[in-house]
Structures are given as structure tokens and as C-alpha cells.
Structure 1
Amino acid sequence: MTFSIVGRCAQSGQLGIAISSSSIAVGARCAWARAGVGVVATQNVTLPAIGAQVLDLLEREKLTPETALQRALARDPFSAYRQVTVVDGAGHTALFTGAQALGRRHARAGEQCVAAGNMLADEQVIEAMVQAFESERGALADRLLFAMNAAIGAGGEAGPVHSAALKIVDAQVWPVVDLRVDWADEAPIAALAGLWEAYRPQMQDYIARALNPTAAPSYGVPGDE
């Protein structure tokens, strides 16, 4: 049903996730990130609460990703149905795939990243994602999307995917990138990449508008002078 990659940029400290699923609105339930703290993917038969729980444990109790993940899963009587991956603010990783996860499933940690999926066409899909993320240079968003395209090239899900999302946090308490394709009959990852290309040149301007409206550029919309 889902494949994803969570990762950290060693140069910028940004944390992010790219994810796609056969289900509708994957970004609303499965992508969790907190600036300086960590990023979590909660997938398969999703319990969204696990994402916030892991991030809270990382931030408030200063736990390792592995300990935070295991503690959050211990609260869930149906943890065998979950697939969860974590990267913390220092690039440390953790991953879990329950025995009841659907279809062919696989997860692997790489250098400051974790890729995971279920209902996969082949386990090599996940290997391709990790290799792509580690080999690509540039912005974190580009590396995450490069990994998603590598997954498609390696076979992707066993069936069609319909939604995709990209979320990245930086120094601000809000995501600097939060883009979603909640439903597409085909190629949601390509549509997501198109959204990123449209948003990329405006991203810093929107940050500037939030932090100091008097110094921000105008977009020429009604009332914006």
C-alpha cells in the first residue's frame, strides 16, 4: 500500500519525508516531522498517533530513535500491523515492520535515512531508494524525490499508487515544504515533483513573508501591495 523515505541533510540539518500510497491522502496520516527533533513515517495499517508520540519522546525525554519507537509501539496493542521509520535530529535511525504488515514488505536504514514499504513489487524497491538518496547531491527535497523515482523505476508497489506527499522542516517550527497530491488516477509522484518545482523558487519568499512581512516581496494579489 505504501513506500516512503525519511531522511536528514547533513549540511543543512533539514529533516524530511517523501511518501506515496495506493490510498487517498497519504500525507495527512503518515508524514510527521518536527524541526531539530526528527521525522517519522507511520504506514501500513496506519496509527497516526505513533508519529506524534515518537517525536514527543525524542524531544521531551531525549531518547534514542530506537527507544522512542519501541516505547511508542508498546502503547499500541496492534503494533504487529504497523510499519514505522524514524530519523532524529542528529541523523540516527530506527525502523519497525510488524509481522502482520501487508504483502511483500521491506525496510532498510542508510546514511541518515530509512526507506520502507509494504505491498511492494520487489524488495529491491527499498534498496534502490536508499542507494538513490545516498548517491544524490543537492537539496533534501531533490534527494527524497530522486529516491521516490528510483522506487518507481525498481517496480514500486504491486498495484497502482494514487497519493504522494513531501514534507520538510528546517529552523522554523512549521514545515518549510508541505506538498501533497491527495488523489491522482496515475503518476502522483510525478505530480508531486511538479508541485515542488513550482514551489521551490517561492519557498524562501514565503519564509521571509512569515518572519518579516515588511521585507517580503509582493506577489501582486489583491490587497498585496
Structure 2
Amino acid sequence: MTFSLIARDAATGAFGVVVTSSSPAVAARCAHVRSGVGVAASQNVTLPALGPRLLGLLAEGVDAARAVAAVTASEEHIRYRQLAVVDARGRTAAFSGEGTLGTHRTVEGDGVVAAGNLLSDPGVVDAMLAAYERSAGAEFEERLLAGLLAGRDAGGEEGPEHSAGLVVVDEVSWPVTDLRVDWSDDDPMGELERLWRRWSKEKRDYLSRAVNPAAAPSYGVPGDL
């Protein structure tokens, strides 16, 4: 039903999540990031409210493991949830309730967690983690995508994936990258990769326009001086 990879970029302090699912609009429900605080994925039978709860605890200084412990102890239907968290120091935690669907697994690395359910093979998440860790991509987003695509190539879900998303926060409070394929009958992860290639050319320009419009590059539209 869903597999994801969340991480903290040790070089920049950015946080990111990349995720795909057989259901629509997966990133809108499962991906949660907060600049300077952390990143969380809330998936399986998804309760989107768990992401902000986890990030709220991290913002209060609670580490990843204690944040997951607090949420799992207090959430009524926790047996249906699968969670992954990375905090501001790169500490990780993950949880899969007993009601997690099908073949499922979570793996944790240095500042990174891969998680999935209804997988074609438990090794899908291991392939994701390995690809992310060995990626030489210059951009954090490239390394996250390398992990997601490795999961696809390792077998992905039991059934077809239909949506995918990539969200990254860095030095500003809003996402510097927020790309979504909310439904595709063919290859949502491939479409997401193509979106990233398009966005990567202007990502920093749009950040400059937001922070200092007087000194930003031109907008490249009719009427722009």
C-alpha cells in the first residue's frame, strides 16, 4: 500500500521525505516535515494527524524514540499505524502496529528510515536504504529519489503504485521542494523524477524570489522586466 524514505541531510540540516502508494495523493496524507525540527511519515491505515503530533513533540525537545513511544502509547488505533521519524540530531525511530498490512518492514540508518507495507518483498526497504546511502547525487532530493526508485526496482508493492511525492524543508520555514503526482495509471515514481528534473532548474530562483525579490532572477513570463 505504501513505502517511504525519510532522512536528515547531515551536510545541510535539511529534512526530506519521499513516498509512494497504490492510493491517491499519498504525500498529502503521509509526508510531514518541519524546518529545524524533523521529518515524519505516518502510513499504512493513515491518520494524518500523527505526523504533526510527532513533529510537535520533536519541537519540544523530545527525541525521535520518545516521540514515537508517546504517540504509540496514546493513540487509540495504533495497531493500524506505521510510523517513521528522524529528529534534528539525526536520531531515528520507527513503529509498525500489529495491524500493518501484508509484508511490511522498517529499517533505520544514520539519519534515515525506510518503511513499507503490502510490499512484494521485505527487501524493498533495504534496497531503498542502501541506494540512498550510496547515492552520489549533488542534491538531497536526488538521493531521496534514488532510494525510492530502488524500492520500485526491487519489486515495490504487491500491486501497482498510483501516487508519489517528494517534500524537503531546508533553511526557510516552508518546503523548498514539494512535488506530487496524485494519480498516475502508469509510473508515478518516474513522473515524480521528471518533475524533480524540471523543478531543480528553478528551485533556488524561487527561493531567492521569496526571500529577496528585489535581487531575484527574472520571472521569465510575458511582461516581466
Q: TM-score, normalised by structure 1?
A: 0.97
- Note the C-alpha offset of 1:74: 2.4
- Note the C-alpha offset of 1:193: 0.4
Distance in structure 2 (CA, Å) of the matches to 1:95 and 1:72: 11
Structure 2 SS opposite 1:109: strand
Deviations, residues 15-48 of structure 1 (Å, cap 9, x unaligned):
1000000000001100000011100011000010
Distance in structure 2 (CA, Å) of the matches to 1:6 and 1:118: 15
Matched, 1:211 2:197: no
Matched, 1:178 2:178: yes
Deviations, residues 50-99 of structure 1 (Å, cap 9, x unaligned):
10001011002x01101111212223110000000001111110000000
Distance in structure 2 (CA, Å) of the matches to 1:103 and 1:205: 43
Matching residue of 1:48: 48
Ranges of 4+ aligned residues in structure 1 off by more than 3 Å: none
CA-atom RMSD in angstroms: 0.9
Tell me how many residue pairs correspond in the alignment. Answer: 224
Structure 1 SS opposite 2:175: coil
Distance in structure 1 (CA, Å) of the matches to 2:21 and 2:4: 9
Task: Calculate percent identity across the aligned residue pairs.
Answer: 48
Matching residue of 1:154: 154
For 1:1-225, what aligned pairs fall within 5 Å after superposition?
Answer: 1-60=1-60, 62-137=61-136, 138-225=138-225
- Note the C-alpha offset of 1:212: 0.7
| Conserved? CA contact 1:50–1:73, under 8 Å | no
Structure 2 SS opposite 1:176: strand
| Conserved? CA contact 1:136–1:143, under 8 Å | yes
| Conserved? CA contact 1:33–1:167, under 8 Å | yes
Structure 2 SS opposite 1:70: helix
| Conserved? CA contact 1:8–1:140, under 8 Å | no
Distance in structure 2 (CA, Å) of the matches to 1:106 and 1:72: 19
Distance in structure 1 (CA, Å) of the matches to 2:7 and 2:223: 39
Tell me whether 131-140 or 24-33 shows the greater mean CA deviation. Answer: 131-140
Structure 2 SS opposite 1:209: helix
- Note the C-alpha offset of 1:204: 0.5
Structure 2 SS opposite 1:54: helix
Distance in structure 2 (CA, Å) of the matches to 1:75 and 1:191: 38
Distance in structure 2 (CA, Å) of the matches to 1:191 and 1:83: 26
- Note the C-alpha offset of 1:220: 2.8
- Note the C-alpha offset of 1:218: 1.4
Q: TM-score, normalised by structure 2?
A: 0.97
| Conserved? CA contact 1:181–1:192, under 8 Å | yes
- Note the C-alpha offset of 1:222: 4.1
